[in-house]
Amino acid sequence: MIGPAYVQTMARYNRWQNQSLYGAADTLDDVRRKEPRGAFLGSIHATLNHLLWADRIWMHRLAGWPAPGPKSIGESVDYHQDWNVLASERRASDEAILAWADSLAPAALEGDLSWYSGAAGRELTRPRWLLVTHLFNHQTHHRGQVHCLLTQLGAKPEPTDLPFMPELPRPTP
């Protein structure tokens, strides 16, 4: 099972990697960010939209955040059409995830969580610690796709390896 130190480290990693990807994506125009590129969710912009939506839906389930507007994975790719709004919302969510992680008590990772999964089409119940792990794993998965697309377009995001994270994690007990 994971503990608060893991969650705090991954929240910092999430913020660092998003800053890197959005900084690299800022070097592209809107047309290139929104152009279909053959990725699972289509474009860079669509993938980043989905990732923000997914973070917010999981934080809705895990921490009581308001549910995001889109109701499905399919709708998530159109969450925010304006790049500046998407980037601003991403920064705000990253800071809120970090604040949540920094205040997380070990008991918050215990027990099960039940929710209706639109992707599965049914009610699911899983251990909370597993779902928090999934939150960060899902982020890493889709950011890897965006990193690849940006690199193919000549943009230069930072390395993705945890040991290269410039802000050393300072987890609290």
Q: What is the pTM of this model?
A: 0.93
Which of the two residues, 52 and 169, has the higher pLDDT score? 52
Provide the CA 85 distance to its chain's centre, in angstroms. 16
Mean pLDDT within 46-65: 97
The mean-pLDDT minimum among 95-99, 115-119, 126-130 falls in 115-119
Domains of the chain listed by start with CATH number: 4-164 (1.20.120.450)
Q: Can you tell me the distance from the alpha carbon of 90 to that of 75, in angstroms, rounded to the nearest whole number?
A: 17
Give me the pLDDT at residue 100, please: 98
pLDDT at 49 over 70: yes
pLDDT at 161 over 60: yes
Beta bridge partners of 121: none
For the chain, what is the mean pLDDT? 94
